[in-house]
């Protein structure tokens, strides 16, 4: 009797275990989706020209005010998605997170209907393939000789920034900067590391300029009366220290005899004098000294000798500036005094110290055979605006770079997202079963962009999005939200355009992230 009663226990136990496993699998996906949607809510209100700014207060008391999605998420140390968009396109860092959150919300509802995550993932892949076709059909080619179109795209990027009122000034500046470092008009990429942004507090935003040379936000060393202006300069970039050598370990030398003290001072003086003579012999009359962490890069005695020899000294060159300086001056970094040779020096017509509203800067101009580099000297009246201008200029530069990588533009103002939503809805009717549901859900998720733009502009989102969809259904593919006037306008007519790469990158990265999250069904702790 006991054996008969025990027979159904095993299947019941297996069913219970299966139920627990499926519940755990669902809980893991749900927790991942909820966490990702929480991140989206943080940045959603920052989307668009009328988006709100965030004030971020660091542990050290530093305050950052920005509406740049990548900066917000970087400071909060949340996700890598926005960083990936920043690397690929430079702009659309808020849009990519908002899109990902909306797609995750759609997947949660689809899984609630019993559709398997793999089916959802495969359907989203179909959506991305179809979206590429739609976006390419909407786009128009742009010629790099057409500077006006490139400036319009940069202005669109700057329109949502804190410094948007200066977009007419900063946009042409960013286009000029990229075109100066472009190897040729057939190039398919540009290295933005060839554009060095130097921030200097003081002055007006209009004082921001492109310098065809080098700028250092520090003054020359004149403690010993050294020169502050050199013509026909021969420039040496040195990575060794002009100071007495030290032992590898922290040792103390005890000198008890006055003669030994005198000898020590004489030896130090001779050592430094010989180094300065070697520098003078090489023909160098301007020294760029890399910052040292082991010992003092210079001493008062070495600066005194150099001043007597009429050699200008610029100290505290950062390690990450060395490559840019070398490329600009066509010189080689010198790691040892024995390597001070004339062929390793760079040349310039003028190296001078220039006074600004808040301190002084060093300018190096008139460089013969200068490398394909340029320096942007950014000015602003306070630190918060200065930092935001730096970030905004970087985004504008990235937009121009996107046009170099993929020379097609599309309308902004959420026009691409609405057109994609309509086209994918039509595409879903051609499919059957669960795939049709998933594609339709993907299409509806794209409405988050126009909805958010309308909300952040203080407009009625339902009325605006409904009218926008009707306009697109009538064939007005460039219709978008004019947030400044609160109406639906043709984005091409009001010059709201953006690179195709920006929209495509945001859509593809957001979808890839959602598909990756769908593939995760368990969390295993490894100890």
The residues assigned a catalytic role are 68, 93-94, 395
d(CA 322, CA 382): 28
The residue length of the chain stands at 527
DSSP, collapsed to helix, strand or coil, labels residue 392 as: helix
Backbone φ and ψ of 347, nearest 5°: -125, 155
DSSP state of 53: P
Task: Please report the DSSP string for 291-356 in residue order.
Answer: P-SSS-SB-HHHHHHHHHTT-EEEEEE-GGGHHHHHHHHT---B-SGGG--GGG-EEEEEEEEEEE
DSSP, collapsed to helix, strand or coil, labels residue 409 as: strand
Backbone φ and ψ of 496, nearest 5°: -100, 95
Within 330-428, residue ranges assigned H as helices are 383-405, 415-428
Task: Report long-range pairs for 467-474 (Cβ below 8 Å, ≥24 apart).
Answer: 468/414, 468/418, 469/418, 469/421, 469/422, 472/415, 472/418, 472/419, 472/422, 473/422
- Taking a C-beta distance cutoff of 8 angstroms, is the pair 401, 194 a contact? no
d(CA 374, CA 90): 19
Separation of CA 166 from chain center: 20
DSSP, collapsed to helix, strand or coil, labels residue 253 as: coil
Q: Buried b vs exposed e over 60-97: b needs ≥16 C-beta within 10 Å? A: eeeebebbbbbbbbbeeebbebbbbbbebbbbbbbbbb
- Taking a C-beta distance cutoff of 8 angstroms, is the pair 130, 427 a contact? yes
Dihedral Cα 46, 162, 199, 370, nearest 10 deg: 90
Between helix 69-76 and helix 81-88 the angle, nearest 10°, is: 140
Task: Report long-range pairs for 148-153 (Cβ below 8 Å, ≥24 apart).
Answer: 149/409, 149/497, 150/175, 150/400, 150/403, 151/175, 152/495, 152/497, 153/399, 153/400, 153/403, 153/409, 153/497, 153/498, 153/499
Q: Is the CA virtual torsion 400, 401, 407, 412 positive or negative?
A: negative
Q: Is the CA virtual torsion 106, 111, 114, 120 positive or negative?
A: positive
d(CA 299, CA 286): 17
């Amino acid at each position: 009797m006991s054996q008969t009663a025990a027979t159904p226990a095993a299947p019941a136990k297996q069913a219970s275990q299966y139920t627990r496993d499926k519940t755990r699998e669902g809980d893991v996906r749900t927790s991942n989706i909820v966490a990702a949607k929480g991140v989206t809510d943080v940045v959603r209100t920052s989307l668009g020209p009328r988006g709100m700014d965030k004030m971020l207060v660091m542990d050290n008391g530093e305050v950052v005010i920005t509406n740049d999605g990548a900066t917000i998420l970087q400071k909060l140390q949340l996700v890598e998605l926005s960083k990936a968009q920043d690397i690929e396109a430079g702009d659309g860092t808020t849009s990519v997170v908002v899109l990902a959150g909306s797609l995750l919300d759609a997947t949660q509802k689809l899984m609630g209907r019993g559709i398997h995550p793999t089916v959802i993932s495969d359907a989203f892949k179909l959506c991305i393939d179809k979206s590429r076709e739609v976006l390419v059909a909407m786009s128009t080619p742009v010629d790099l000789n057409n500077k006006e179109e490139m400036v319009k795209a940069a202005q669109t990027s700057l329109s949502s920034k804190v410094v948007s009122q200066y977009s007419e000034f900063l946009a042409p500046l960013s286009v000029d900067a990229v075109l100066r470092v472009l190897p040729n008009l057939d190039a398919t990429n540009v290295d933005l590391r060839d554009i060095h942004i130097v921030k200097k507090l003081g002055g007006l935003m209009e004082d921001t300029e492109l310098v065809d040379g080098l700028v250092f936000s520090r003054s020359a060393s004149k403690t010993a009366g050294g020169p502050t202006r050199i013509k026909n300069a021969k420039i040496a970039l040195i990575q060794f220290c002009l100071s007495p050598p030290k032992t590898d370990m922290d040792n103390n030398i005890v000198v008890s005899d006055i003669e030994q003290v005198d000898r020590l001072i004489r030896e130090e003086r001779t050592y430094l004098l010989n180094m300065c003579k070697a520098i003078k012999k090489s023909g160098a009359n301007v020294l760029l000294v890399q910052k040292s962490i082991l010992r003092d890069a210079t001493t008062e005695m070495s600066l005194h000798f150099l001043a007597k020899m009429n050699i200008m000294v610029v100290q505290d060159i950062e390690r990450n500036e060395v490559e840019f300086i070398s490329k600009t001056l066509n010189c080689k970094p010198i790691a040892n005094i024995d390597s001070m040779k004339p062929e390793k020096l760079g040349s310039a017509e003028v190296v001078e110290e220039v006074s600004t509203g808040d301190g002084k800067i060093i300018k190096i101009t008139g460089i013969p055979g200068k490398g394909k580099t340029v320096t942007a000297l950014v000015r602003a009246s306070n630190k918060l605006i200065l930092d935001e201008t730096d970030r905004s200029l970087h985004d504008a530069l990235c937009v121009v770079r996107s046009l170099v990588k993929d020379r097609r533009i599309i309308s902004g103002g959420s026009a691409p997202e609405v057109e994609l939503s309509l086209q994918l809805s039509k595409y879903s009717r051609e499919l059957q079963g669960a795939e049709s549901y998933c594609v339709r859900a993907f299409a509806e998720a794209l409405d988050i962009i126009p909805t958010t733009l309308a909300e952040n502009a203080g407009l009625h989102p339902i009325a605006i999005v409904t009218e926008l969809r009707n306009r697109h259904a009538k064939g007005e593919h460039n219709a978008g939200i004019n947030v400044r006037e609160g109406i639906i306008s043709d984005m091409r007519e009001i010059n709201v355009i953006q690179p195709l790469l920006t929209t495509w990158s945001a859509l593809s990265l957001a979808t890839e992230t959602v598909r990756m999250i769908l593939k995760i069904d368990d969390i295993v702790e490894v100890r």
